[in-house]
Copies of this chain bind each other. A is one copy, B any other.
């Protein structure tokens, strides 16, 4: 996907952004109505008012329509981690970064996507594959915070643990419905990590 230019947003950039959002919304609606597999790119293009070919100037692939909005979110997390305090432990920095960015988390869209993915193993796989990007974002943030003090391997391991905790938190949140706050799930997941390891002692 193309990056937004850092300059003041011109008409082109704004149009692009709006159309990007529009296509995503249309697609999610169609996926919810008819299912992911049964919805073709031709239909999405037609319903969005653009040509099928031009879809690929916005999204690299069909599943990117569902996941690409996360890139921006992941980027914010990376920056938030990089602004953490280097005296705290790695996992604590990540936890705080996640919690402080939770307001930017698009819960409604996530719920819709979760519904689309239900009973679609292939999509769930692609969702999992997309976790690579979260992990890389965490790694990027941690590397920026400790440019050389900590070994690459330690930071990588922390990234892996963190993304696992986040996935667990999201899973619980989606499963237990709206009764539970996502923040609590995240906090609990990171706590659970300590607990589970301590049991090993």
Binding site for B on A (CB under 8 A): 89-92, 124-126, 128-132, 153-154, 156-158, 160-161, 163-165, 167-168, 171-172, 189, 192-194, 196-201
Contacts and interface: CB of A to CB of B under 8 A. Distances in A.
17 contacts: A89-B199, A89-B200, A91-B199, A91-B200, A92-B200, A124-B132, A125-B129, A125-B130, A128-B128, A128-B129, A129-B129, A156-B168, A156-B171, A157-B192, A160-B165, A160-B167, A161-B161
A167 B163 CA distance: 13
A180 B37 CA distance: 44
Contacts of A171: 156
A199 B129 CA distance: 29
Contacts of A125: 126, 129-130, 132
B164 A196 contact: no
Contacts of A91: 196-197, 199-200
Given A90-B199, A168-B156, A193 B132 contact: no
A193 B197 contact: yes
A160 B163 CA distance: 10
A89 B163 CA distance: 23
Given A124-B132, A128-B131, A132-B124, A157 B194 contact: no
Contact of A197 (B126, B156, B194): B194
Contact of A160 (B90, B129, B132, B168): B168
Listed from nearest, the 7 A-B pairs whose CB atoms lie closest are A125-B129, A129-B129, A197-B197, A160-B164, A89-B199, A89-B200, A164-B164
Nearest to A124: B132
A87 to B, nearest CB: 12
A154 to B, nearest CB: 7
Given A89-B199, A157-B168, A161-B196, 20 more contacts: A91-B200, A92-B200, A125-B126, A125-B130, A125-B132, A128-B129, A153-B172, A156-B168, A156-B171, A157-B189, A157-B193, A158-B196, A160-B164, A160-B167, A160-B168, A163-B164, A164-B164, A193-B197, A193-B200, A197-B198
